[in-house]
Structure 1
Amino acid sequence: MLTLNWNIIWTFVDLIVLYVLMKKFLFARVQKVLDQRQEMIQGQMDYAKEQEALANQNLQQAQETVENATKEAREKAQRILEAASKKEKEQLQASEEEAKRILISSRKQAEQERKKLLADTQDEMVTIAMLAARKAVGNNINEEKEKALFEDLLKKVGEA
């Protein structure tokens, strides 16, 4: 037959009482600690998200700064290259003008030397022609008339 053992009943009653006491005193505190821990973790997660957003914003600002600096450096390099090119052209033009000036000066100097040499040659030819004419004709002709005649002759020969 089935008998009910009082020990089993008291064990169940003890367990129920123990459960109620634990629920009232222990589970509420444990749940409170768990809730605080959950709030702390959520706060840290929110803080980490804020820090990540701030880091992304700082990274974006840094990238913009680098892009601006790169752009400014390129513009500055371009201005320097343009200035150097302009200066090079100016120096080249000045060199060409100097070369032209030297060439013109050299031509003038050569022309002057040619004229001087031609005049010297004409004088010598007049003198030689006068000496030859004196010997051929004798010493009767006036020296100034001789010179004038030979210069006239040389001019006519030079024109032809």
Structure 2
Amino acid sequence: MTSMTPLAAGEQHILIPAVYDIVWSAVCFLIILIAFWKLLLPKFRKVLDDRAEAIQGGIEKAEKIQAEADTALAEYQKQLADGRAEAARLRAEAQEEGAQIIAEMKQQATEESERIIAAAKVQIEAERQAAMVSLRSDVGGLATDLASRIVGESLTDDTRSASVVDRFIADLEASAPASAGAASKEV
């Protein structure tokens, strides 16, 4: 075991350095500290500041892009809503126009059917008149022949034969409504 004894003058303890070593170590430490402080520390700060600025710029850029994306999304949604509203409006207009076209077509069809009916009535009336004229001449000729045979004299006088024919047709027309009324009562 070693004993703890005080050191003699001039001897140094192994754990405690000499004063000149402490002084030179302190001078070297100060030189290294000043060099580090003046040369290396500003470069580290510059690199860290540049990195912080780049990160901050990236964050700001990302926030700006995010804001632009939000604005674009809002604009897109607004345009989509406007498009849907426009499509609904166009559908409503198309339905109204379709209903209007259908109503116009029905109106035209009604007018056309009325025109066809009126034309048919006019044609029927013209054909009835033509039939009446034809019937008058045929019936007139037959009535004149019949009357000539019954009376036994010739009815060649135009005025006399015309009056006989007119009277005969008038009698037929008078008896026709009466017989038509009786026929409708029987049905």
- TM-score after normalising by structure 1: 0.72
Runs of 5+ consecutive residues of structure 2 not aligned to the other structure = 3-11, 179-187
Q: Which has the larger radius of gyration?
A: 2
Structure 1 stretches (4+) deviating beyond 4 angstroms?
A: 14-19, 140-143
Matched, 1:78 2:96: no
Amino acid at match of 2:65: Q
CA distance in 1, matches of 2:88, 2:29: 82
Q: Which has the higher helix share?
A: 1
- TM-score after normalising by structure 2: 0.64
Deviations 1:93-152 (A, max 9, x none): 112211111112212221331233134224322321221221233116685164355334
Matched, 1:155 2:173: yes
Does the 8 Å contact 2:136/2:165 carry over to 1?
no
Counterpart secondary structure, 2:131 = helix
Matched, 1:64 2:74: no
Amino acid at match of 1:32: R
Runs of 5+ consecutive residues of structure 1 not aligned to the other structure = none
**RMSD, matched Cα:** 3.5
| Percent identical residues | 21
Matched length: 159
CA distance in 2, matches of 1:53, 1:75: 32
Deviation at 1:30, TM superposition (A): 4.2
CA distance in 2, matches of 1:104, 1:89: 22
Which residue number corresponds to residue 14 of structure 2? 4
Does the 8 Å contact 1:122/1:154 carry over to 2?
no
Deviation at 1:66, TM superposition (A): 3.4
Deviation at 1:38, TM superposition (A): 1.7
CA distance in 2, matches of 1:43, 1:152: 117
